[in-house]
Amino acid sequence: MNKLPQITLAFWVMKICATTLGETAGDLLSMTLNVGYAISSMILISVFLLTLVTQLFSKSYNPVLYWIVILSTSTAGTTMSDFMDRTLGLGYASGSLILIAILAAIFAVWRLSGESLNVNRVQGFRGELFYWLAILFSNTLGTALGDYLADDSGLGFAGGALLIGSAIALVVVLKYCTKLSPVLLFWVAFVLTRPFGATLGDFLTKPHEKGGLDFGTVGSSAVLAGILLVLIVGACWAQGRDARQGAAQLS
């Protein structure tokens, strides 16, 4: 049984919200609370592993559990990227290249394993494990790429978000106007939503003198968590409605 959600507009809205929250919440733990990138990464990776194991052994799609795992990959990806790029001193460009190579290797092994990369056909323990590994490292890559665009490229937070947003819009146009592989376009869009969330999160939290709105990590995280909670409740309601309609048709 496929335990993943249908890919709809609501899915993408929730994905961007979750990745933006992952950026602000990761920065809240590592910088605002001064836990540090290394300790924050260990804490958040532990949370990710706990939620991942729960998801892998669940028997059906659970919107609450699914989006908790997505959020844990996003927060863990933020601190993992910051640890690589800042604590280890690799820099955003080098860190992004390393993560691109890791993500490409995951997709290559996934394809060679015989499992489908089409998320509508991900079934079984092995296929779902590849899916979550790809998500974890795509979110980590997205943070590094977003930081590179915002800090090193000279575009700033708003400029970086605008550039990535335009790239996502281009992927949408390619999906509906070309015959390019929908699976390829899905994963390109999935990767791009993370740097969009990273630059958007920085734009919300950073002070005015750095080009941000100065909402802070606490305020931004609280607002984003509230929005995501409402969307998850909506997803649960829709799932319950579909289940009731299915039962009514069978009776």
Per the prediction, the chain carries an average pLDDT of: 83
Is the model more confident about 205 or about 118? 118
Q: Distance between CA atoms of 63 and 76, rounded to whole angstroms?
A: 20
pLDDT tens for each residue of 186-217:
988 888 887 777 677 777 777 777 667 777 77
Residue 173 pLDDT grade (very low, low, confident, very high; cuts 50, 70, 90): very high
What average pLDDT does this structure show over 36-45? 79
Cα 142 to chain centroid distance, Å, stands at: 8
Helix spans in 90-215 (H):
92-112, 124-147, 156-177, 182-205
pTM for the model stands at: 0.81
What is the spatial distance between Cα 3 and Cα 58, in angstroms, rounded to a whole number? 8
